[in-house]
Structure 1
Amino acid sequence: MKKILLIAILVLSVKTLIAQDLTFPIDSVTQKASYSQVVQVKGSKNELYSKAIEWFASMFKSSKNVIQLDDKDAGKIIGKFVAYDSNQGPVTCTLTIMLKDEKYKYILDNIYFNGNRSYPGWGLEENPSMLKANMFKYAINSIKKNSKQNIEGLITTLKTAMEAEKSTEF
């Protein structure tokens, strides 16, 4: 009886994973996975810059290792980081934040499964065959699902941080 229950749970888990939307938004120019949005918010370019830098510092263990470009005058910050780290290898991406008075634009792109010695890399907009990825479809879907969840969660925290009112109290 326990074996039948275990098999039923396993089958339902696999069906649930397969039924999930594992597609990423695709940039019309590059045809690569990319999240992008212009967001209207209150605040000057400098205030929004401070919020973005503070967000990087709170989201990553070492924001100095993540941030590749920090140009306050131009209102541009670029960070590269691991969005998901699986046993088969990391998924990396680039986040660009461009700031102006009363708005900012984020572009999260270069979303790529880097693999390791045993697993070749591929872009998450792809649907690699098991032969190309050298792994079962379940593992491919798991990498996509977890990466997508992490990336979309990260974008949500960015939007929340950029919309938050700055507290003047200690």
Structure 2
Amino acid sequence: MKNIITILSLFLSTFLFSQDFQFEEVVKVDSTITKDELFNRARTWTSQAFSSKNNMITTEDKQAGEISGVGHYDYRADKKYKGSSCVEGPITYKFSIFVKDGRYKYVFNSFDHKGSRGNICNRIDYGRLTLAEEAPEKGRGIAYNYA
């Protein structure tokens, strides 16, 4: 019965939130590692990984076992092509880490892209990154499907 509930929960969460682009995992560690120790490790990691001025920790609640914030990644194209500088730019995202005795969960979601103005083009924003095959909207300065 427990397996059926688990499978049903996974199916429903995939069906209901299939358009969201996110990374999420529960990680089991040594069961003797306490919630407080995991929280201290998470706080150390986030203070190092998110130390630039564009990143911000918004929640740091030891009692609840949660650290959350906003991260920033500066996207650059691996290969240069005409117009590639128009889509290069920041991708912001939200992150959360939840800790309990012997395990923690991380979630990275709400990825949002803003392009930059190139020498020969206007800025192109991809906006909210999703798993959808079709672009969410069509308009000036927004990437969309050609057809």
- Provide TM-score, normalisation by structure 1: 0.54
1:104-128 deviation per Cα after TM superposition (whole angstroms, max 9, x unaligned): 1111111121335722342222554
Larger helix percent: 1
> Considering only aligned residues, what root-mean-square deviation do their CA atoms show, in Å?
3.1
Partner Cα distance (2:49, 2:73) in 1: 11
1:50 and 2:60 aligned: no
Partner of 2:63: 73
Q: Which runs of 5+ in 1 are unaligned?
A: 1-26, 135-170
Q: 1:57 to 1:80 in 2, by over 3 A?
A: same
- Partner secondary structure for residue 58 of structure 1: helix
Q: Which runs of 5+ in 2 are unaligned?
A: 1-12, 77-84, 118-122
Equivalent residue pairs, number: 110
Of all paired residues, the percent bearing the same amino acid is 30
8 Å CA contact 2:36–2:62 kept in 1: the answer is: yes
Deviation at 1:89, TM superposition (A): 2.1
1:42-97 deviation per Cα after TM superposition (whole angstroms, max 9, x unaligned): 21000000000000122133489521111010000102111333453211111111
Partner of 1:133: 143
- Partner secondary structure for residue 133 of structure 1: coil
Q: 1:64 to 1:119 in 2, by over 3 A?
A: closer
Partner Cα distance (1:46, 1:100) in 2: 8
- Provide TM-score, normalisation by structure 2: 0.61
Partner of 1:36: 24
Partner Cα distance (2:104, 2:43) in 1: 13
